[in-house]
Copies of this chain bind each other. A is one copy, B any other.
C-alpha cells in the first residue's frame, strides 16, 4: 500500500510535508521551470513587505563551509505588486500558497497580513519576525518575548481566514519560551529555524565579504542546530499544544527531512538545497515516500516525534 503523505498544518491540508523555504524559491515561476509546483505540500514565497525593497548592497551572498551566508536585505516587490503581479499566477498552481511577511513596525506587519488574508489564494501567512524592531531600537521582534507577543497578537487579530504561522529565529538563548509565547499569542504553526547570525572575512583583502558585513547562515552546516531546536520545541511546547512545527535548516535529502519529522516536525521546508538543485523539494517528497514504504509507515504524520529513546 502506498503510504499517505498528507499532513495538516493549521487549516491547511498539505498533499505532503515538503514546502519551499521563504527567500529561496522566489514567487514561483522560477522553480516551475523545473517541476510542477503541485508536487509540493505548499509553496512559501519570498518575504513581502509593505513597500518594495531593493535590498542590501552586493555582495549579498557568500559560500562558507557547507553553508551560505546571505544578507539579501528582504529585497522584494512590495505588497501591492505581489498582489497584482505575483499572487494571481501562484494561486492557479494547485498548491497551497503561504506568504512570508516581514516588517519593521507592528503596524506594517498588521497591514500586510490583513491585506494578504483578504486576498483569495493565500492559504497561510508566515510571519518572519527576524526583522529589526525599529521601535525597540533594532532588536529583532523574534528575539524578545514582549516584541514577539506584541507583533503576533496584533497580526492574530487581523487575520481571519489564512493559517497564521510564526517563523522563529535561532539566535536566542532559549527558543522554548519564545515558541510558547508565539503559540499563546495565536500562532497556528511554528516554522523553525531562520538563519544563524554569521560573518565571513576575506583575509587577503582584509574586508568583510558581505557588503552588509554580517548575514544569515543557512545550509547543511546549521542542520544540527535546527534539529535540536525542533526537538526542544516539540517536546516542550508543540506536542502538548498540538501545534505543528515546520522544520527548516540544512535539509538537502529525504533523510534530512525524515530526521526533522522524527525530531517533531510535521512538515519541512527546503531552502539552500534548492539553489544546488532546483528540483530538490520534489526529490525529497519521493525519497520520503520510499522511506515510509521501506519502513512500513502508513502515514507521513506517523513520523512526527517518533524518535525512539
Residues of A within 8 A of B (CB): 64-67, 69, 139, 143-144, 171-174, 196-201, 203, 205-208, 213-214, 217, 220-225, 227-228, 231, 250, 255, 258-259, 262-263, 291, 306-309
Inter-chain contacts of A69 with B (CB < 8 A): 224
| B203 and A259 contacting across the interface, CB-CB below 8 Å | yes
CA distance A200 to B263 in the complex (A): 10
| A201 and B307 contacting across the interface, CB-CB below 8 Å | yes
Inter-chain contacts of A198 with B (CB < 8 A): 224-225, 227-228
Inter-chain contacts of A64 with B (CB < 8 A): 220, 223-224
Instruction: Identify the 4 closest CB pairs spanning chains A and B, nearest first.
Output: A198-B224, A221-B221, A66-B66, A65-B220
Known contacts A69-B224, A203-B291, A208-B307; 19 additional CB pairs below 8 A are: A64-B223, A65-B220, A65-B221, A66-B221, A67-B224, A171-B173, A172-B173, A196-B224, A197-B225, A197-B228, A198-B224, A198-B228, A199-B228, A203-B258, A203-B262, A206-B307, A207-B309, A213-B231, A220-B221
- Which secondary structure characterizes the binding site on chain A? mixed
Contact partner of A65 among B66, B144, B255, CB < 8 A?
B66
CA distance A233 to B69 in the complex (A): 20
Kindly provide the distance from the CB of A17 to the nearest chain B CB, expressed in whole angstroms. 14
Q: Please, which residue of chain B has its CB at the minimum distance from the CB of A203?
A: B258
CA distance A69 to B69 in the complex (A): 21
| B259 and A201 contacting across the interface, CB-CB below 8 Å | yes
CA distance A262 to B306 in the complex (A): 46
CA distance A222 to B197 in the complex (A): 10
9 contacts across the A-B interface (CB closer than 8 A)? A64-B223, A65-B66, A171-B173, A198-B227, A199-B263, A201-B307, A208-B309, A214-B228, A221-B221
Kindly provide the distance from the CB of A142 to the nearest chain B CB, expressed in whole angstroms. 10
Inter-chain contacts of A203 with B (CB < 8 A): 255, 258-259, 262, 291
CA distance A171 to B196 in the complex (A): 11
Kindly provide the distance from the CB of A182 to the nearest chain B CB, expressed in whole angstroms. 15
CA distance A157 to B46 in the complex (A): 53
Inter-chain contacts of A172 with B (CB < 8 A): 172-173
Q: Please, which residue of chain B has its CB at the minimum distance from the CB of A208?
A: B307
